Copies of this chain bind each other. A is one copy, B any other.
Amino acid sequence: MSEQSTPQGVDIAGRTIAVLGGTGDQGRGLARRFALAGMTVIIGSRSADRAASVAKELADAEDASVDVRGLDNAAAAAEGDIVIVAVPWEGHRDLLAGLADELADKIVVDCVNPLGFDKRGPFALDVPEGSAAEQAAEVLPRSRVTAAFHHVSAVVLLDPEVTEVELDVLVLGEDRAATDVVRALADLIPGVRGVFGGRLRNAHQVEALTANLIAVNRRYKTHAGIRITGL
């Protein structure tokens, strides 16, 4: 193997992680894990009050002291060095377009899965830009947009009994240094490996694969993830 699976020389200590849509299950789960890893975490929400309340709940639930605050999405975007986008697909484009100034020059990590559900189960939605991540890149031309954390189960992230999260996080992006930072971020979650997974034009299928994992969850009554073999 020509490259370590953990990026070398990437130090993310001291960077502030903002999670837009951080009051949703996925956002709370990621916020919790990054806070437990010792990072400063800011939960963003449409309502600053709601964000503050969720941040307090998260902090109160842990024995360890964690550094989690809540702000409205715009303030969270302004404070964060690395900004995770965990908002609902509905409204994704407008929310990000409105934060283009706050997110300029920052690493943006889109983890949104555009999925629909009907009586036959989950399915991937058509996205005009190709994927949520490419939509983010289109409305945030001054940001370093990556895509990651699509397949992590919110239930698992929030479960205090789960000390090792058994999955790999595919990190996609055009900016090698940015994907290395996000891989290092993924590596902060015990058990998780951040693995480079290609360019943003190949993000659609990574987002959409969540529909298959939901199908696996339903059939096998589990919280499925993926590991990349051969690394």
Contacts and interface: CB of A to CB of B under 8 A. Distances in A.
Nearest to A208: B205
Nearest to A172: B212
Stoichiometry, copies per complex = 2
A53 to B, nearest CB: 31
Interface string A86-128: 0000000000000000000000000000000000111110000
Contacts of A2: 220-221
A183 to B, nearest CB: 11
A204 interface: yes
Interface string A196-223: 1111011011111101111111011111
14 contacts: A120-B199, A120-B201, A122-B202, A124-B204, A195-B216, A195-B220, A199-B215, A202-B208, A206-B212, A213-B228, A220-B231, A224-B229, A224-B230, A226-B227
Given A202-B212, A204-B208, 11 more contacts: A1-B221, A1-B222, A166-B230, A198-B212, A204-B205, A205-B206, A205-B212, A224-B230, A226-B226, A226-B227, A226-B229
Interface of A: 1-3, 5, 120-124, 166-167, 170, 172, 195-199, 201-202, 204-209, 211-217, 219-231
